[in-house]
Amino acid sequence: MAKAADVYFQVDPWKIIEEGFDPAYSRVSESVFSLANETMGVRGCFDEGGSVDSLRGAYLNGVYELEPLPRSYRGIIDHTHYMIPAADWLAMELTLDGERLDLGRVRFRDFRRELDLRAGTLERSFVWQTASGKELRLSFLRFVDMVHRERAYQRVALTPLNFSGSVSLSSGVSFEVTHEGSGKCFWQDARTEADGRRLMLQSRTAHSGQEVFAGAALELPGDVSVRREGRRAALSASLALREGEETRVDKRVVLLYDGRGGETLWQAGLEALRAGEAVSLDEARQAQRACWEDYWRISDVQIEASGPDAAAVAAEQQGIRFCSFQLAQIYSGGSMRHNIGAKGLTGEAYNGHAFWDTEACCLPFYLFTNPGAARDLLLFRYNTLPQAMARAKMLDCQGACYPIATLNGDEACSLWQHASLQLQPSTAVAYGIWHYAHVTGDRDFLYAYGAEMLLQIARFLASRVEKGGRTGRYGFFGVMGPDEFHMMVNNNAYTNYMGERTLRCAAETLEAMRRERPEAYDDLARRTGLGEAEIGRWREIAGQMALPQDETGLIEQHDGYFDLPHTDIDAIPVSEFPLYDHWSYDRIYRSDMIKQPDVLMMLYLYNSSFSEAVKRVNYEFYEPRTIHESSLSPAIHSILAAELGKMEEAVRFFGFATRLDLDNYNRNTREGLHVTSIAMAWANIVYGFAGLRSDGEGLRFAPRLPDRWRRLRFSVLYRGRVIQVTMEKGLTRLMLTEGEPLTVQVYGKPCTISGEETQVPCP
């Protein structure tokens, strides 16, 4: 299964650059040039629209529509939900000599588009050559405010190169937006008003009844006329341009969605719009740059080449920065109502849904760069605990069963085999709580929120577990583990092991809470009906969980896995990938072929709990059976390969990690960015090549620099400290750029680091 780069963008350390425009890449560019600030996101689509192939989408986190599903069996969801586009705030049109600007139809030259990772802005410029012979240079700038997250900005700058004269420009805001999957516009009952150079709109979704306010303050020279029709409003003006002089049209936008509606929302919207007008676009742009500079101070990963691979490493440098940039855009904390959709706010694929990837893959990035954001992600799970409890009930269980796919906390996966059989979202939430508390030591969070989630998840697992199997011990029957190529199996090792750890963690956490915060514990126990017997039962189940290994430490993925027919995955022609598109659905499930790490996933998550020998025997058994039809798969393998000293494999699996979307490796970047894979690119470097381990006592590093890198430098935040790690050939240098001295393990030996650099030679 060879993946190949589809190189389109220019390499630059801090920018993503498109020079010249290829309409065939239009949607790929739109995805790559997406901007977001967690609250809102917008694809890199052309402000002026036109006939170019486009998924025109400006999204608000948490805005979705509902769809009823056909009646089916009990425990299978009867409606789903999906993200829909919200107000299009970029909407504008330009006409010169009767020619409408449309890059799918007009002549133009010197097209350039540039995403600046340090400035957090997207710029686009070109020269429009009209049929009448005029040349008009156009520059577009946009950004979404990283601090005032309801704000966004657009600037259109027009410079006539060979004429003076007028152009017609209209600019507005529109709720006439179509959800591509259904082909429908869900916005209704729009209120639209104009006041001077301000536009105000409010509209409501048809089924979910969510209301959004959208306002824009325009700086548009000359006389303007207002056009309001249906669900859109715009201002139009005839701009008198002078040859060689730049004329700017600035639009300061406010989008408000916070659960309120009606007149209350409208008034809040007006207020937000007025507040936004106190800041000019240029001032906001300055603040935006400062905000990103602050971000890069901690989160930058620097890679330098060693010798002949300079070009490839420069691409990796750009790639990892693009990943970090996107992660900060998608989520940076502040809202406990949002999670991280598989495509973030960059496209409508996966319906805006978040998966267990959040806890299993994304959380470490936030834990070590922005622990507050990690906490807020977990609070999303706390806020949706009622839905998880309702879901457990639907499944004839107790406690809380977290959804495999969701936007609002309800299960949204209409494939029952995933929604009902995958317990990993619940154990991943438990893992995330434990991992967060373990790394940060945040006991306030743990006892105020974490303990209750752990309790309900443990309760769910205890109601779902059964005794049976070859061992006669406890186990989970009828499950689908992380390897989705084995649908309904018994005693999936991952599920059993994660279940066991979750039950123990819940018991330990609640027992510690009883000692440390007896009042809070009593309150929780009273509210949830928790008694000592229940905790005892969790311990009993955990103690008798089926977790068989053979004498070499090899773990069977599930009961009967070793007896399955063997598929030689190297014999599958490349043309048959992705298998879901080329193989009959049931055929995928009939052999020992694995979609993504399953046993290896638990060896990754609870890495410190397994010996190197166990990791080696399982890696060597399962890796050749894995086809990596999940974009998360290679990184897990790369991290384990690095640990096992298989550097060649580690580098091979790292391969396209940093540039999965920049080079469109999966050929579906047009649908949006692979946000959770982006998070694993960071983990691949920090857990893989720097050998960070955070699931044991304290922090551990075991740096292993790939040959083609001369230097790797990154920082991690840890309990009020900033640890800067610089890996070079034969040597790792560690120092604290902030905080008190700290002892960590490097290559298994204690190493105290401080503001002074500590050097550790490679063993």
Select from 441, 580, 645, 707 the one that contacts a second copy (CB under 8 A). Answer: 580
* Residue 470 is a binding residue for a second copy (CB under 8 A): yes
Binding mask 354-393 for a second copy (x = CB under 8 A): ----------------------------------------
Select from 110, 243, 282, 466 the one that contacts a second copy (CB under 8 A). Answer: 466
CB of 624 to a second copy, least distance (A): 17
Place of tokens 């602050």: 294
* Residue 490 is a binding residue for a second copy (CB under 8 A): yes
Q: Which stretch binds a second copy (CB under 8 A): 133-141, 231-239, 271-279, 578-586?
A: 578-586
* Residue 469 is a binding residue for a second copy (CB under 8 A): yes
Based on CB atoms, which residue is closest to a second copy, 583 or 606?
A: 583
CB of 574 to a second copy, least distance (A): 17
Rounded CA gap, 697 and 719, in Å?
14
Can 484 be counted among the known catalytic residues? yes
* Residue 394 is a binding residue for a second copy (CB under 8 A): yes
CB of 405 to a second copy, least distance (A): 16
Site for a second copy in 45-74 (CB under 8 A): 72-74
Based on CB atoms, which residue is closest to a second copy, 112 or 590?
A: 590
Distances (CA, A) of 199 to 273, 442, 578: 10, 45, 47
CB of 482 to a second copy, least distance (A): 18
Q: Which stretch binds a second copy (CB under 8 A): 412-420, 499-507, 658-666, 736-744?
A: 412-420
Based on CB atoms, which residue is closest to a second copy, 583 or 747?
A: 583
Strand 224-229 relative to strand 232-241, pairing: antiparallel
Residue of 674, 631, 49, 16 whose CA lies nearest to 347: 674
Residue of 44, 84, 51 whose CA lies nearest to 65: 84
Peptide bond before residue 578 is cis, with ω within 30 degrees of 0: yes
> Number of residues in contact with a second copy, rule: CB under 8 A?
40
CB 558 within 8 A of CB 493: yes
CB of 394 to a second copy, least distance (A): 7
Based on CB atoms, which residue is closest to a second copy, 329 or 422?
A: 422
Rounded CA gap, 518 and 516, in Å?
6
Place of tokens 């979404």: 144
For residue 93, what are the contacts with CB-CB under 8 A and spacing of at least 6?
48, 49, 100, 101, 168, 169, 170, 171
For residue 282, what are the contacts with CB-CB under 8 A and spacing of at least 6?
none
Catalytic residue among 359, 484, 629, 671: 484
How many CB atoms are closer than 10 A to CB 20?
10
Between 424-440 and 371-383, two packed helices, what is the crossing angle to 10 degrees? Answer: 140
CB of 587 to a second copy, least distance (A): 5
Rounded CA gap, 83 and 65, in Å?
6
Select from 205, 420, 440, 630 the one that contacts a second copy (CB under 8 A). Answer: 420
Binding mask 75-104 for a second copy (x = CB under 8 A): xx----------------------------
* Residue 550 is a binding residue for a second copy (CB under 8 A): no
Rounded CA gap, 694 and 667, in Å?
34
Based on CB atoms, which residue is closest to a second copy, 406 or 420?
A: 420
Q: Which stretch binds a second copy (CB under 8 A): 78-86, 189-197, 467-475, 746-754?
A: 467-475
* Residue 565 is a binding residue for a second copy (CB under 8 A): yes
* Residue 694 is a binding residue for a second copy (CB under 8 A): no
What does DSSP assign to residue 536?
H
* Residue 416 is a binding residue for a second copy (CB under 8 A): yes
Strand 700-701 relative to strand 742-746, pairing: parallel
* Residue 117 is a binding residue for a second copy (CB under 8 A): no
CB 239 within 8 A of CB 247: yes
Q: Which long-range contacts (CB under 8 A, 24 or more apart) does 634-639 make?
A: 635/677, 635/680, 635/681, 635/683, 635/684, 635/688, 636/596, 636/597, 636/600, 636/601, 636/604, 636/680, 637/597, 637/600, 638/684, 638/688, 639/604, 639/683, 639/684, 639/687, 639/688
* Residue 583 is a binding residue for a second copy (CB under 8 A): yes
Select from 105, 107, 274, 467 the one that contacts a second copy (CB under 8 A). Answer: 467
CB 239 within 8 A of CB 217: no
Question: By three-state DSSP, how is residue 68 classified?
Answer: strand
Give the residue numbers annotated as catalytic, written as ranges.
Answer: 484
Point out which residues bind a second copy (CB under 8 A).
72-76, 394-397, 416-417, 420-421, 466-470, 477-478, 487-488, 490, 559-560, 563-566, 580-587, 589-591
